[in-house]
Amino acid sequence: MPGLLWYVGALLAWVNGRPPKDISTLAVPKNFMLGTATSAYQVEGAWNESGKGLSIWDTYVHEHPEFIVDGSNGDVAADSYHQYKQDVAALKHLGVDFYRFSISWSRILPYGHVNTVNEAGIEYYNSLINELKSNKIEPMVAMYHWDLPQALQDLGGWANPVMAEYFEDYARMLFHKFGDRVKWWITFVEPDSIAKGYIPSWKKAPGVNSSHVGLYLAIHTLIKSHSRTYHLYSNEFRDTQKGKVGISLNSRWYEPETESAADIEAAEKAIQYQFGLFANPIYSPEGDYPLIISKELEKLSIAQGYPSSRLRKFTPEEVISVKGTHDFLGLNYYTARIARAPEAVTDINSVADNNVILRTDPRWPASASAHLKVVPLGFRKLLNWIKRAYNNTPVLITENGFSDRGEIEDINRIKYITSHMSQVIKAINTDGCNVIGYTVWSLLDNFEWDKGYTERFGLYQVNFSDPSRHRVPKLSAHVFSEITEKRQVPLCVHGCPMEMRSHSSAVSFNRIFISTYMLIMTYMRFIFLP
């Protein structure tokens, strides 16, 4: 009997107007790691239990529930603090190689400093790590995923350069407590998003309005914090623990609107502004911030009346210290934008720092998140850009996922995952990109920051109205588990959104009937077959 991948491939092919004979698969490369991810604030809950201190997200959602679309919070979330064994059982069903989760700094150190340690927090993460190891799932730990202890935010947060010292102290404790079992470390997840917490338009914690000055102070501190942590590991722990340390950066792909030199430069500026500001100092052979950005920001800052650039400068010694502080590059990719050169400047104070006009293509399929259009080919293009820019350093995809409203029959998520995984495999096999693993965001439906529970990314549905937070595998969970088992990704090349194609809205009654029938048969197979 054909496997689930065949049924899903046939379903996708029929929905998109192709007969099942078009179905084919791509083999997952040998030694390529497959996993899924969560973050502490989004799933743990237990916000004030067992000695945990306040984080900036606790403060943000409690003081300003109006900032969250549905007025919700992460006080309970998916209750993973109490139900971590169910999470590990779900991971076991998925057959993943690793689980990327984050540690809540304020659960370990309630006030952010190492003088006060919460042993209950240490015990929780030890239990989670041990449960993963006993099920042959590799723990991949993110040290920081957006939830700074409030006590440190009260000192200025990431805009205060002393934070680099405090983060190093925190990292040393994590290495001491968990490094005997954790071999994959991520210092920061999406530092671009962390730094944006210091601009007024970014509707996420800590919500500080620093007139675009704090943004660049935070960028500088985050990079130096990463660098210090990498050197700490190399100097004190690497020889005995033999792990790897990287950082997880997020980026869209930016496609030039035309082939004009101005639009090509605009697209390059956009990617350098979002991605290169963090990647260049760490991964480029030269180190330091991208010249195309640092020069323009200095010019713009002075024109706006500042005495110097709002972007801090690294000393020559700091450039050397930061450069090369990586064992891999973590990459979060979700979507793309079309970039074009700006119009003539009329008001210097209204100019955006990246100074690029961005838009989406109306033909790109949509997700539940208005800003996350489905553009798989952009993934492959971004991987090739990284290959060229950073000497083909090893890339670990640390997030890639699709939002909907929580449907169990999440066909669009399956299409998203399979089409994006296909582009990654093509980037490896055809383009020679050095990609070593892929992570689906997310294991569970969770608290989606300012969107609350209105958008869902999980492979597992969570019933947030049920005190037990019951978990149910979606169809995508079954498909991903078969991908991990068979090491094959199903394709429907002409129908899935593989080449930035749009979907026809005219789907015949017969196709709807057939696709529904095949979906029912797929579920019948789960119920009645071993």
Query: Cis peptide leading into 321, omega within 30 of 0?
Result: no
Which residues make Cβ contacts (< 8 Å) with residue 38, sequence separation at least 6?
78, 80, 87, 100, 101, 102, 442, 443, 444, 446
Rounded Cα–Cα distance for residues 443 and 277 (Å)? 29
Buried b (16+ CB within 10 A) or exposed e, 439-478: bbbbbbbbbbbbbbbbbbbbbbbbebeeeebebebbbbbb
Q: Which residues pair with 436 in a beta bridge?
A: none
- Catalytic residue of the set 257, 268, 296, 399: 399
Rounded Cα–Cα distance for residues 38 and 186 (Å)? 13
66 is catalytic: no
8 Å CB contact between 319 and 374? no
8 Å CB contact between 165 and 75? no
Pick the closest to residue 18 from 515, 431, 523 (CA basis): 515
Q: Which residues pair with 250 in a beta bridge?
A: 332
8 Å CB contact between 99 and 139? yes
Count how many Cα atoms sit within 13 Å of the Cα of residue 256 in the half-sphere of its side chain.
13
286 CB neighbour count, 10 Å cutoff: 10
Backbone φ and ψ for 99, nearest 5 degrees, come out as: -130, 120
8 Å CB contact between 23 and 13? yes
- Catalytic residue of the set 44, 131, 190, 482: 190
Rounded Cα–Cα distance for residues 203 and 216 (Å)? 18
411-429 and 475-486 helices cross at what angle (nearest 10)? 30
Rounded Cα–Cα distance for residues 370 and 249 (Å)? 21
**Tokens 């930061």 — which residue?**
322
SS3 100: strand
Pick the closest to residue 91 from 140, 155, 161 (CA basis): 140
Count how many Cα atoms sit within 13 Å of the Cα of residue 329 in the half-sphere of its side chain.
28
Rounded Cα–Cα distance for residues 376 and 416 (Å)? 8
259 is catalytic: no
In angstroms and rounded to an integer, the radius of gyration of the C-alpha atoms of the chain is 23
Residues known to be catalytic: 190, 399
